[in-house]
Amino acid sequence: MKFLHTSDWQVGRTFSFVDDDTLGALQAERLEVIRRIGALARAQGAASVLVAGDVYEHETPTNRTLHQPMERMRQFPDVTWHLIPGNHDADTPEGVWARLAREGAVPENVRIHRKAEPVLIDEAQNAWLLPAILQRRHTLADLSAYMNDAPTPPGAVRIGLAHGSVVGFGNAEEGEHNPIAPDRAAQAGLDYLALGDWHGFCQIDARTIYAGTPETDRFGTGGAGGGEVIEISLPGHGAAPHIQRHRTGKYVWRKFENTMLTNAQDIAALESRLRGILPDNPGAVLAWLEVSGLLGVDELALYENTILRRLGGALACLRVSGAPQLSAMADDLDRLGCGGAVRVAAQTLLDQAQDGGEQADLAREALQRLFVFWQDTQGARP
């Protein structure tokens, strides 16, 4: 049998560092990717899509947000979507799943699993799904443990579906919540264990995989990449699964840590790297720069023009942490005159900046502004 594995759609997610337009585009794309997954399933001949939790970002989304993914899935009646709760949308008495059930808003081709018990999903293939159900945001028990003893007919294909952290893998703190045994597939005789919670693709073993979010939503994904959906082909019980990764995400998120700028060449190289992410579509790039370094007056102006203004307009989002500091030397100060009042003021600020202390940063910023104003006033002169 063939099916798709995805997770962590987190519909309704907001992003604090982007502007309103970009936010709207990102949110729209998180819905649009459902259509792409459905189309992929059709294209690959997969009858089922397993969604390993966190369909929703919030426990109480708006009505529109609640119904949007359901309606996207309804558009693919030939595909059966299997959904389980995640830590963001746990199956609480008044949670999203109870709400959807109460409102009768779940399409026929969507199966929401709220009980930890084997479910026949493909009679022809004798394929059984063993979902693990989170009933609260965090639990210290391994909800997949029941799979070990969950009865299925002999020769059945056993597919586990769970949301949580594989114990001993990755972040220790995250691993404390919603733990999953790393060898659960082996213990429970699973042919495949579809996991959710990590936002990037991550393969634990041959049968245990985090698919990651189909539309990248953070710079640090927990895993690798993100923006993918996994296609799994299972020839039968006990056979090794065949796995194929498909790119579904539109936006590319990149973080550039410890970017040190000391001269114009560094600035040019940085620009080149940023533009090289998606040379044909920089508008689908979200970049986060952690910038430091020392630049002269002219280089600082170059940095502001090239990186902040031009690239800031080109990319979907340019998030900048830190800033290159002004490295004003005597030559820079000389352009203010040899002994004039402006030169004296600049020297005073430079001294304060070099003395360190609480006022140093402020003095440096004041000095930068002084040069900017100076250039403006000089430019304004006939």
Partner 1 sequence: MILTDIQIEAVRRFASPVRLEGLGPGLNVLAAPNETGKTTLLMALRAVLMLRHGSRAQAVKDLLPYGGGAPHIGLAFQWRDRACWLEKRFWNKSLARLDLGGERFDGEEAEEQLRTLLELDRNGRGEASGLWNALLVRQGESFAQPELAGAGHASVQACLEQTMQDATGVAAASALLGRVRERLGQLQTATGRPTGRFRQVQEDRDRAEQDLAALKARKVALEEDLGFLEQDRRMLREHESPERRQQEEETLHALRQTRERLRGLAVEEQALRATGQAVAQQAQAAAEEQAARRESAASLARLEHDLQTHGQDAAHLVQQAEAASARHARAQLATSQAVRAQQQARAVLHRVTRRLELARQAEALGHDRTVLARAQDAFAWIEQAQVDLASLKVDTAFMRRLAKATQAVEQARAIMQAQATMLVAQLQDGAAGRVTLNGQPCPSGRTLLAEAAELVVEGIGRFGIVPAIDRRDHAQKTLDDAQAAQSALLAEVGCASVAEAEALHDRRSTAEQHLAQAQATFAAILPGHPVEKAATTLATLRQNLAEAQAIHERAMAALQAESGAESGAGAQQPDLDNAQASRAEDEAAQRAEQARAQEQAAFTHATAAQAAAEKAGALCRQLEASCARIRQDLTARQTRESDPDLAARLAALLGQQATLEADLAAKVQLRESEPPLSVIESGIRRREEAQETMRATTTRLREDIRERETRVRMAEGDGLDEAIAEATRHLARVTSECEACARDRAALALLEQTLANAEKEQTERYLAPLVQAMQPAFSALFPGAKLEMNTRFGLSGLTRQRYEEVEHLSDGTREQIAVLVRLGFAELLHARGMPAVLVLDDALGFSDSTRMECLFDVLADAATRIQILLMTCRAEQFTPLGGRVLKLRQHKAVAAPG
Residues that bind partner 1 (CB under 8 A): 12-16, 23, 57-66, 92-94, 99, 336-345, 348-349, 359, 362-363, 365-370, 373-374, 376-377
Nearer to partner 1, 265 or 359 (CB): 359
> What is the distance, to the nearest Å, from the Cα of residue 71 to the centroid of all Cα atoms in its chain?
23
Q: With contact defined as beta carbons under 8 Å apart, do 268 and 255 qualify?
A: no
Cα torsion 339, 341, 346, 348: sign? positive
Distance CA 157, CA 120 (A): 10
> What is the 8-class DSSP label of residue 241?
P
Nearer to partner 1, 274 or 370 (CB): 370
- The CA distance from 378 to 146, in Å, is 76
**Least distance CB 297 / partner 1 (angstroms):** 15
Q: Which is nearer to partner 1, 71 or 205 (CB)?
A: 71
Q: Phi and psi dihedrals of 197, rounded to 5?
A: 130, -45
* Residue 11 Cβ vs partner 1, minimum distance, rounded to whole Å: 10
Q: Which is nearer to partner 1, 169 or 219 (CB)?
A: 219
Distance, first Cα to last Cα, the chain: 78
- At closest approach, how far in Å is the CB of 355 from partner 1? 14
Q: Report how far residue 337's alpha carbon sits from residue 323's, in angstroms, rounded to the nearest whole number.
A: 27
Q: How far is CA 85 from CA 31, 124, 137, in A?
A: 18, 27, 9
Task: Give least dist CB 17 to partner 1, A.
Answer: 8
Comparison of 54 and 191: residue with beta carbon closer to partner 1:
54
Closest approach of Cβ 290 to partner 1, in Å? 16
Nearer CB in complex with partner 1: 63/258: 63
Closest of 194, 262, 204 to residue 229, by C-alpha: 194
CB of 94 to partner 1, least distance (A): 5
- The CB-of-340 to partner 1 minimum distance in angstroms stands at 2
What amino acid occupies position 75?
Q
Tell me the three state secondary structure of residue 24: helix
Of 16 and 272, CB closest to partner 1? 16
For partner 1, which is the closer residue by CB, 23 or 278?
23
Contact 154, 167 (CB under 8 A): no
Q: How far is the CB of 105 from partner 1 (least distance, A)?
A: 12
CB of 380 to partner 1, least distance (A): 9
| Whole-angstrom distance, CA of residue 285 vs CA of residue 296 | 29
CB nearer partner 1, residue 41 or residue 353: 353
- Residue 92 half-sphere exposure toward CB, CA atoms < 13 A: 14
Spatial separation of the C-alpha atoms in residues 301 and 309, rounded to whole Å: 11
Contact 196, 8 (CB under 8 A): yes
